[in-house]
Amino acid sequence: MAEANGRASDLKAGFLQIYSRLKSEVLEDPAFSFTEDSRQWIDRMLDYNVPGGKLNRGISVVDSFEIIKGSQLSDDEFFRAGVLGWCVEWLQAFFLVLDDIMDNSYTRRGQPCWFRLPEVGTIAANDGIILRNHIPRILRRHFREKTYYVHLLDLFNEVEFQTASGQMLDLITTHEGEKDLSKYKMPVYNRIVQYKTAYYSFYLPVACALLMAGENLDNYADVKRVLVEMGTYFQVQDDYLDCFGDPALIGKIGTDIEDFKCSWLIVQALEIADENQLKILEENYGRPDPACVAKVKSLYNDLNLQAKFSEYERTSYEQLISSIEAQPSKQVQEVLKSFLHKIYKRQK
């Protein structure tokens, strides 16, 4: 166990060194003549938004590539897998900076959202665009000569499109839900989650590793399906933690109830609530008043949603394990299990 922890911290340290190099490169990009002020702004913006999370998505590119390759990575292979990992983290930062503005959030990763800083404000919208534009610059610099370069560009473009479309579904569903709460149903929820979270958080890191290993992604449709299911499970956990998690552990104060979100909890509640309980939800869900939020949480407890979530977690885990063990490649099985074990019963 100590050895595994030691390897994980070495891996994280090595991964963070790659970030420093990539940051230096984007701050010296010859396509733009930086002034001292603009360089300092980007430097600070990157440090605030890119490396602050758990880095699971990025590091899993390195882990997955090593498992698929079946032997220890050379320094060059570690570096290139790390670069792709950081491209995933850059994409995540781009989404989160803009998502926080759209959701009017207050905290992210234990600190104020970037746009909440008085000197930032709406400049954060342009910072999000810059973060997104760093990705093709990084890919061009490090992968231009590779046979799979065009496939990497296609992959990042497609996943970004899917995620932005999922975000749109989330926003317009919320808009509809404000008028009619009964619109929040499981198929609607699953579609939002699949596009908004699962593709970029679960499929993208593994797809990067497969491309580096010389694989054709068309041959991995079933792996993609399993990863998307895992991403759905991950988002259900996120929704649960938004309401029942410890803000000190998860690094943010949950606002799904106030924001009228089509969350797994509200969908479950609407399915099993009686008429009186439905009336309480309709009167209190989506209201910023803390008393209204408390009424919704109290109703969630009355409906025993914590037990319902525990049951969902157990059955999802069993189904995922059986889908994983049906995969023909032992290496692919190991990659998928490593993802699942990182998230199973997580508290943050």
Catalytic residues: 54, 94, 99, 103, 108, 170, 196, 234, 238-239
Contact, 241 vs 204, CB < 8 A? no
Instruction: Show the tokens assigned to 134.
Output: 């760093």
Q: Which of 285, 292, 339 is nearest to 317 (CA)?
A: 339
Instruction: Using the Cα atoms of residue 52, residue 58, residue 63 and residue 66 in order, give the sign of their dihedral.
Output: negative
Q: What are phi and psi of 37, to 5 degrees?
A: -65, -45
Q: Collapse the DSSP code of 111 into the 3-class scheme (helix H, G, I; strand E, B; otherwise coil) and give the result.
A: strand
Residue type, 81: A
Measured distance CA(210)–CA(44) in Å, rounded: 33
CB crowding 115-146: b at 16 or more within 10 Å, else e: bbeeebeeebeebbebbbebbebbbeebbeee
Measured distance CA(108)–CA(253) in Å, rounded: 8
Contact, 270 vs 281, CB < 8 A? yes
Measured distance CA(54)–CA(149) in Å, rounded: 27
Question: Which residues, 6+ apart, have CB-to-CB distance to 257 below 8 Å?
Answer: 243, 263, 266, 285, 286, 292, 293, 296, 297
Contact, 112 vs 48, CB < 8 A? no
What is the DSSP code (8-state) at residue 29?
Answer: -
Measured distance CA(247)–CA(243) in Å, rounded: 9
Q: How many angstroms separate the Cα of 80 from the Cα of each of 4, 59, 141, 275? A: 23, 12, 11, 57
Alpha helices in 54-74 (DSSP H): 56-69
